[in-house]
Chain A
């Protein structure tokens, strides 16, 4: 296959900038253009729910750089794609041609406000984080809707400032992703830290205009100075309407980050890995996955085999000051084996082994480099893998996947 002459990347995200850099690393000397909607350019989002909420100085430290790579940058949102004629149109009226396209537009915060209802707070962009920081400064009470990773991080930020905070969700904190064992431990920890949890029987509605509370299905109404929606993310695919590239889950890709349309590849939070007979469709909007996919999409766009894994299942969160780092498949069902330490004491190394021979390794409240965690997951699973058929583990079904992904882009 001949290498394409020009590569267009849509989305100045971690996946997009990683792809741009990797194109050059792989020796591509032709034109590379990146289209980004945000004025600031590319920046790192994991600190938004932590460092940025604490300290305005952190705002200036988040930039992802494209220096020295000879990349053309267009600061305007992509509004339409035409894969047949290989062009993308931007909000400022430009039409940009390409030989290969990498879609990396990421995802947006899911919102719950009714049409016209003002003042809903979410946390996805630097502007969102700045606004939330300002509001935290004079809030006396807070409500967080959604007990996933982002919801628990935002609640932790409130509690750390001494703001009483209530988290509302239909399921127990982090249970969908981390399973009962860690959910119970982290919920207890959060409670001791000043985070109150209310389990709702169904969807909660935002009340007030501007928003000042939440109405639960049983008629209970809670109100607070600050109400933050942390209800997951929605892939940014509106601009791909009519192209056949995207559906409700995002842009479907294969293991090489190729879409179903020739010449079009995709990476990061906008994607889902297409399922097959042995695995369901799977979204994995995590930081490390965006890096792995950005590299894989760059290689594929050049017609080269991937130079490394095209997926990465490392992710982490922090609840009430305690970090949880994970390598492997989800969710974590049943009880773990404790390799070291104890969950009760707040410092442990754990593994979950599945019947198919795969294992997931967790560093709970403990610093552990990702390489060591990967190794632990690999060795914990291998002994059983040797005696079992090597078919793939069923991945977490997308329907269950309501994790946010501030961390993982």
Chain B
């Protein structure tokens, strides 16, 4: 499972990090870091990552199969 991040659309709400803190994090200025950029999301993070994708209120995250 891979995830694409539309950084231009991201508004820094941080709800993804709420759902999957090991996958997404935000700094003090709400700039997003996705920890598996270009890589497969490890099995143990996949369920939480899908929840994070749905929790993004601006639809900036997508699951690429």
Contact = CB atoms under 8 A, between A and B. Distances in A.
A219 to B, nearest CB: 42
Nearest to B46: A68
Contacts of B58: 44, 46-47, 50-51
Contact of B47 (A25, A47, A65, A407): A25
A314 B12 CA distance: 13
A44 B59 contact: yes
Query: Which bracket fits the contact residues of B?
Result: 20 to 34
Nearest to A65: B63
Interface in B17-65: 17-18, 26, 28-31, 47-48, 50-51, 53-59, 62-63, 65
B51 A21 contact: yes
Contacts of B29: 367
Contact of A18 (B13, B14, B51): B51
B5 interface: no
Secondary structure at the A interface, as helix, strand, loop or mixed, is helix
Interface string A5-48: 00000000010011001101100000000000000000010110
A61 interface: yes
A219 B12 CA distance: 45
Contacts of B57: 44, 46, 287, 316, 407
Given A367-B11, A370-B15, A47 B26 contact: no
Contacts of A370: 13-15, 18
A394 B53 CA distance: 34
A383 interface: no
Please indicate which of the listed interface residues A17, A62, A369 has the most CB atoms of chain B within 10 Å of its own CB.
A369
A276 interface: no
Contacts of B50: 21, 65, 67-68
A175 interface: no
Interface string A325-359: 10000000000000000000000000000000000
A61 B47 contact: no
A163 B54 CA distance: 33
A367 B7 CA distance: 14
A299 to B, nearest CB: 14
Interface string A134-148: 000000000000000
Contacts of A17: 54
Contact of B14 (A50, A58, A369): A369
B59 A47 contact: yes
Contact of A368 (B12, B51, B54): B12
A125 interface: no
Contacts of B17: 369, 371
A64 interface: yes
B63 to A, nearest CB: 6
Nearest to A308: B18
Contact of A291 (B9, B14, B53, B55): B55
Given A367-B29, A369-B26, A370-B13, A14 B59 contact: no
Nearest to A323: B11
Contacts of A397: none
A380 interface: no
Please indicate which of the listed interface residues B13, B15, B17, B62 has the most CB atoms of chain A within 10 Å of its own CB.
B13
A371 B18 contact: yes
A51 B28 contact: no
A370 B25 CA distance: 11
Interface of B: 6, 9, 11-15, 17-18, 26, 28-31, 47-48, 50-51, 53-59, 62-63, 65
22 contacts: A21-B51, A21-B54, A25-B47, A25-B51, A47-B58, A50-B58, A51-B9, A51-B59, A61-B62, A62-B59, A65-B53, A65-B63, A67-B63, A67-B65, A291-B54, A314-B15, A316-B57, A325-B13, A368-B12, A369-B17, A369-B26, A370-B18
